[in-house]
Amino acid sequence: MSLKSLTKDWEPMSYGFLDASAKREIRRKTLKAIAVPGCQMPYASREVPMARGWGTGGLQISCTLINLQTTVKVIDQGADDSVNAASIRRFLSRVSGAPTTMDTLKADLIQSRHRIPEEKLREDQVLVLQVPNPEPLRPVQPNMSIARQMHADADYGRMWLQLYEQIVRSGRVMQGASYPSLVHGRFVMTPSPIPRWDVSKMHMAKHLTILSAGREKRLHAVPPYTRVEPLVFDDVPYQVEEHQDLTCARSGAKGFFMNEIPQDDGSSTYEVSDSEFGVKTIRKGDGEPVEIGATWYHAGEMTQ
């Protein structure tokens, strides 16, 4: 053993920003997360040049996976062009030289905040979701040590009670985003604050989903072809947002998840939340040769 073998050549910056030891730790934890779907794995969550809570968890996963051949897409609440998405995309490209895209079909790695694209993801794609609060039990058990014991015991009675109380009080389940879901019949996870519309897209999906919370220092994963079942009572069916009959005012797309845009006269118009899907629909309408992939929803109905 020589001094030379213990050192490495000087580099101005590690490739992909994170240093090798940070990447190894994330690799080990991600492998275990894939092996135990939906179970939250603690990890170190290193510093990245972005404030905690702005997607640092997802960013660390992306930095670990990225290479010169990885085409990256970043979305924030469905939009490729919001400040958060554009900043993360530019950062990932700068630290790795990876090509970027807005097209879901061309992406290898999709980092997303709070949406799953409307076009179906393939077997070779990785979806990285940014998670603000990885603990689905937090509303019913704020103590995270006790919550971990509840996960260990599969003790989800309080979770069910919370849903029951919402139905009794309000006539329906009031949980809008991050709908608690049972993964592989064992762990209840939060699917990150995606709308109820998107939760069914995870069930037996072809792609790999990695969910990472940088501030809370925990990650979990949903491998392909894994059961993800929103918690529902047998006699109260799972309901998605009622966007089936809404039409996008700009692209004319119908039956997808919409953003509501309030108007001066008190009414609302809608535009499709998946911005690039809307753009592609408009361009196709203009006669351009655009490829639009198969969508999860057809005419507002989920298809499997």
Binding site for other proteins (CB under 8 A): 1, 5, 8-9, 11-16, 20-21, 23-25, 27-37, 39, 41-42, 64-68, 93-97, 123, 148-149, 151-153, 184, 186-187, 204, 206, 208, 223-227
When the beta carbons of 46 and 243 are compared against other proteins, the nearer one is 46
Shortest distance (Å) from residue 265 CB to other proteins: 44
Shortest distance (Å) from residue 21 CB to other proteins: 6
* Residue 70 contacts residue 108 (beta carbons within 8 Å): yes
Shortest distance (Å) from residue 283 CB to other proteins: 25
When the beta carbons of 42 and 142 are compared against other proteins, the nearer one is 42
Shortest distance (Å) from residue 212 CB to other proteins: 14
Shortest distance (Å) from residue 2 CB to other proteins: 12
When the beta carbons of 149 and 263 are compared against other proteins, the nearer one is 149
Q: What is the DSSP letter of 35?
A: H
When the beta carbons of 63 and 246 are compared against other proteins, the nearer one is 63
When the beta carbons of 179 and 187 are compared against other proteins, the nearer one is 187
Q: What is the DSSP letter of 91?
A: H
DSSP E strand stretches across the chain = 41-42, 72-76, 109-113, 126-130, 181-183, 187-189, 208-213, 218-222, 228-230, 258-262, 268-272, 297-298, 301-302
Residue 259 to residue 254: CA distance in whole angstroms? 12
Shortest distance (Å) from residue 13 CB to other proteins: 5
Tokens found for residue 62: 């992306």
Cβ neighbours around 131 below 10 Å, total? 29
When the beta carbons of 194 and 210 are compared against other proteins, the nearer one is 210
Q: Among candidates 192, 43, 37, which has minimal Cα distance to 111?
A: 192
Largest CA distance in the chain: 77
Residue 79 to residue 86: CA distance in whole angstroms? 9
